[in-house]
Structure 1
Amino acid sequence: MCRIAAYAGPAIPLENIVVRPVHSLLEQSQHATEAKLAVNGDGFGISWYDDRGALGLYRDVLPAWADDNLINLCRMVRSPLFIAHIRASTVGETTRVNCHPFAYGRWSFCHNGQIPHFRVIRRRLMAALPEHLFEQMRGTTDSEMIFLTLLANGLEADPEHALALTLDQIGTAGDEGPIKLTCVFSDGETLYGFRHASTGPAPTLYVSEVLEHGGRAVASEPLCGMAQRWTAVPPDTLCKVTPEGFELCPLTAARAA
C-alpha cells in the first residue's frame, strides 16, 4: 500500500512534513509500520499551492529515498498547503504518469488502496466521463480513474456527494477481494481526507493536533511516531482540514441523498 502526508496552515518548507519528522514520509518509504509492505519504492510525487492558489506538481518513478532532487525541492519550496505521496503499485506500471498526485485545474488528488475488480469496471467508468475529463486521462491506474470520476460527479461543488456517487459507481467486487480506498485531495483552500473499505479495515489515515507552526498534517502514519497526538479519521467520514481546524463529516447522509 502507498503512504501519504499532507499539510494545511501557515506556509512552511515542504521538508517539515516530508523529510524532517522522525517518521516522515521519506522514512515511511522504507520503514512503513501500518501497511502490508514496509517499503514503498514505485515512485513519488508532491503537489503544492502558492499563496495565490497556483498549483505546482513534481513526480518521478525513482524511489523517494533515491532522488536528491526531492530533498532539495522540499528544502527550498514553502507552501501553505501541499500533498505528498509515495507509491507501492497495485494497478498500472511504474511510470511517471501513474505516479500520484494527479492534478486537474485547481484540484490535486492521491490515493492509497485498490479496486480489485477495476479491469471489470474500467470501461464503464471511462464511458461515463465527460469528454473533457476523458481527454485528461494519461495513465492506467484505478487511482487516476477515481479522481476523474470524482470530478465528473461534482467534486468542485460538493465533495461529500461526489464521493458517495463514486462509491456507488465502483460498486462491489464480489469474490475478487475488498475495495480499499483512502484518499487525500485539495482545491488549494481545503485539505480533504477520506477512507473506505467494502469489508475489513480501510488503509489508515490520521489528522494531527496543531503543529508548532500553527498548521495541521494529514498522514497515513503519525509523523512523530506517537499516535496519541493524532486523530484517526473514521471510515466513511470526510475529514476537512483548514488553517482554522478540522471537521469530520460522516458520508452516510450523502450516500442516502
Structure 2
Amino acid sequence: MASSLTHPPPPPHLPSLNPKPNFTRRSLLLTSTATTLSFPSLSSSAIQPPNPTITDRIFMEFSLCPNYYLPNRTLGDTISTLCSDSTLLGRVILGLYGNLVPRTVSNFKSLCISNPNSNPNSSSYKNTLVHKVLPGQYFLAGRQGRPDRGEVRPPSYLPRNIETVDPKAFALTHSRPGIVSLSLSENDDEDEIKFDPEYRNVEFLITTGPGPCPQLDNKNIVFGTVLEGN
C-alpha cells in the first residue's frame, strides 16, 4: 500500500563518480529510465512550495561511453554502435514533485517511460547523452535532435508546458546538490528546433554540488530531487 511522504528526508549527494576512467561531456550515457513508484495526490491546500511532496519516483542508470568521440569513427556509426559496450556507472533514484508542477513532472515521466516501438518518430531519454558537464555545479541532459546521435525527439502528443510562464513554478531554489530542474535559461537546443511551433522543452539538469547554484534560481523549474544514488 502506497503512502504519501509529507516531509521527505534530505537526499544524499549525487553519486561520486570515480575519476578513473575520466569522463567529459557527451561521454556520459543515460542508459535506462523507468517509473518505479507512485503516491496518491494530495489536495492543493496541503501543498506548501517550500516543502514539496514527492508523488513519484523514477530511476535512471548512467553509463560511460568513451567511444563517442573516437577519431576513427565513421559516418555510419550511431549511439547504439558506439556505446554498445558502455560501462555502467550506477543508478540514481529521483523523487518528483507532481503536486507542485504537475505538467513538468508528467512530461518528464512520459520521456522516461515512452516506448520507441510504439512511436518510431520519437525517442525517450533512454540511450541519450549527458551532453554538458559543469564540474562543481550541474550537468545537462535531454538535448533535442537526432536519436542516432544520442539526442531526444519528444513525441508529438506531449502537451505544451504552460508552467514555464507560471511564476509559482519557480518557487524552489537550487540550494544544494541533487536538485532536478527543467532547463530553461541553460537550454542549448538548436534555434531551428526551438522555432518549431510544436517545440516542447524537455532538457533537464541535476545539480552536483558541493555548493548551491543560485544563478539558476527563478530561471529554471525545480521539479524533483535525488533520493538515492550509487
TM-score (norm 1): 0.29
**Structure (1 or 2) with the greater helix fraction:** 1
**Structure (1 or 2) with the greater strand fraction:** 1
TM-score (norm 2): 0.31
